[in-house]
Amino acid sequence: MRGHLASRKSKSIKFKCSKCGRKLTRNDLIKFSSNLKPLYSLNNGGEYKPLCVTCYHELIGLYVTRQLKTAK
């Protein structure tokens, strides 16, 4: 007879990407002071907005491309 293992129960993650709207996975989060926090975030005028890894790399790519174009 199998017992119920509560430790394997998945925990809900409360963060969503502010750009694409998908729920952040454990790969998008880091452990900070025994809590999970988003790895990447935007600070838009003091407003904290979490980002997924995909959207972060997309935004950084656009930023670097823009910087290279203006440097010429």
Average pLDDT by stretches of 10, the chain with 72 residues:
55 81 87 84 82 90 92 77
Q: Is 46 helix (H, G, I), strand (E, B) or coil?
A: coil
Structure confidence at residue 27 (pLDDT) = 82
Secondary structure (3-state) at 26 = helix
Comparing CA positions, the residue from 62, 18, 25 lying closest to residue 44 is 18
Q: What does the alpha-carbon distance between residue 3 and residue 26 come to, in Å, rounded to a whole number?
A: 26
3-state SS class at 48 = strand
Which of 19, 23, 30, 26 minimizes the C-alpha distance to 59? 19
